[in-house]
Structure 1
């Protein structure tokens, strides 16, 4: 009788982010320098010197990295000039982690601030155009305390056209647009 196989591999959680990057090896190097990532796996294609996929571990979370493949319609945020998602990363010391990530090449999108829900948090853009919010819990608040602070933070709501006004335009990130060729 064969041993039962777990449907979720050891070390993984139910949901695992998979980031498309332009250069798996350089992305791994950035995540190691910025977030202390541990390389778990590295896969190559025909050219064994170039990675096409890797898995890394940041804290207790596994993240997969795939090389972009424009011919298959798989593009990194750098190729499409937008990031459609954001990875939220809780760390022990957000200020130290923030500084390490910026030194590794991350760009500030929204500076660190003490948020109404009890986190110290901010948003960075990594070297592949992916958004990362870094945070540390600095206060334990009840649901009522959070709701009260949220109400005060966002009143009057008419003043908030997008809800993203905390992102100072001075921190806007220009992601270089790549020329796109459309077949005739």
Structure 2
């Protein structure tokens, strides 16, 4: 008699983000350098050395990476010049993680700031155009405290963006692509 197969693989949660990237191997290398990602799986097409799919683990979360397939309409945000979502990471030390990601090549979209909802947070863009929101909880607040602060906080965030060198259209993606890497 065969063992019962779990419908959700060990280590996975019900929802697993899957990011489309230009080069899987380069993206894995970036996520390892920037976020301490652990490579779990790497798959190649039958006659190719470059990866077409990989899974990585950042903290306790698994993220899948797929190679672009333009012929199937599967494109990275960088190729489409738009990003429709972001990955949010809660980290023990957001400042250290932020610096490591920037050193690895991430581009700052929204600099780190202490937010009215009790997080220290900011947003980075990776070489494939994916947005990464990094944060550490710095205050435990009730919903009422957050609501009261929001009245002041929203204006502060708007002023922050207006006063920064980041244009209101920060939301246009202009980031350097990852260098192509060959794998042996």
Same fold (TM over 0.5): yes
Q: How far does the alpha carbon of each residue in 1:100-158 deviate from its partner, in whole angstroms, 9 at most, with x for none?
A: 000000000000000011000000001111000000000111111111111222369xx
The equivalent residue for 2:11 is: 11
Q: Is structure 2 residue 23 aligned with structure 1 residue 27?
A: no
- What is the aligned-residue RMSD (CA, Å)? 2.3
Shift of 1:166: 6.7
Shift of 1:47: 3.0
Q: Please give the TM-score of this superposition, normalised by the length of structure 1.
A: 0.86
Listed as ranges, the matches of 1:90-101 within 5 Å are 90-101=90-101
Shift of 1:164: 9.6
Q: Please give the TM-score of this superposition, normalised by the length of structure 2.
A: 0.86
Shift of 1:4: 2.2
2:83 is paired with a residue whose SS is coil
Shift of 1:48: 3.5
Structure 2 unaligned blocks of 5 or more: 177-184
Q: How far does the alpha carbon of each residue in 1:54-98 deviate from its partner, in whole angstroms, 9 at most, with x for none?
A: 000000000000000000000001111011110000110000000
Structure 1 unaligned blocks of 5 or more: 177-184
Q: How many residues align?
A: 172
Listed as ranges, the matches of 1:127-142 within 5 Å are 127-142=127-142
CA distance in 1, matches of 2:94, 2:62: 20
Shift of 1:165: 4.2
